[in-house]
Amino acid sequence: MNPFYFGDSARPLFGVYHPAPPADPGRGVVLCYPVGGEYLRAHRAFRQLTNLLVRAGLHVLRFDYSGTGDSAGDPVTASLEAWAEDVGTAIGELRDSAGLEHVSLAGLRLGGLLALQAARKRGDVEHVVMWDPLPRGAEYMESLERVPVGGRLEDGGPSPFPAGTVGSGGFPFTPRIQEEIRELDLTAQEAPGRIPVDLLSSRDEPRLGEVARRWSEAGAPVHYRHIPSEGDWAKGDRFGSALIPQAIIQGVVQRLVEGGAR
């Protein structure tokens, strides 16, 4: 496990590179986190996912988007476009670190949509796994427990965030980020060309099945699978426990190891 900073020196990203055993074939995966409180609840699940992937012979890079976690950047100026560019930077870093020509992407919740957005713009992504992706961003924003943190604070002091910013799980959602997320609609997106995509859901989500059907009819190699698993990424329990849904983690590993093969 190698923690390090990479990318633009003016806005370095924090990542952790987990190399595969030397005897294993050269394949790699960039893991794309969710945001807000879901980022915190997903941390242990991503650690377990990483360990299983490395044991299966894959190089893994997990990282924080700019303005989040331990990466540099101002959350006030964060945007989905910048985060998708960060995914692209992480792809290049993993390719250089592991000596790979192509990599796969796996993203949870909003991270799944960012992974797909980055993959659409590149020719070096061989497979995308979207784990519990958001069907519609507007529904996600409505599900968040949030408190105002922009403008002026309750004590009358100024806030470092613009008016309209809300906090959720210790993460600031500026008006810009809120609007960008609300505009996301996976159910209306066009098929992603020839990139194999797996849509994996811990709960039965007919809309994802419909997305897979529509994209498949357009000629895209897309597959939807419901893998029943406990837990709800949008909500923490009263003990603050992290979610480690074993069944769907195993499903993500299986699809990444198989490499999108049907």
19 has a pLDDT exceeding 80:
yes
Hey, where are the domains in the chain? 2-137+194-258
What confidence score (pLDDT) does residue 150 get?
80
Structure tokens at 119: 């993959």
pLDDT by residue (tens digit) across 75-101?
999 999 999 999 999 999 999 999 999
pLDDT by residue (tens digit) across 142-174?
998 888 888 766 556 678 889 999 998 889 999
Amino acid at 218: A
2-137+194-258 in CATH: which number?
A: 3.40.50.1820
In this prediction, what percent of the chain has a pLDDT beyond 70? 93
Structure tokens at 231: 């837990």
**Confidence (pTM):** 0.94
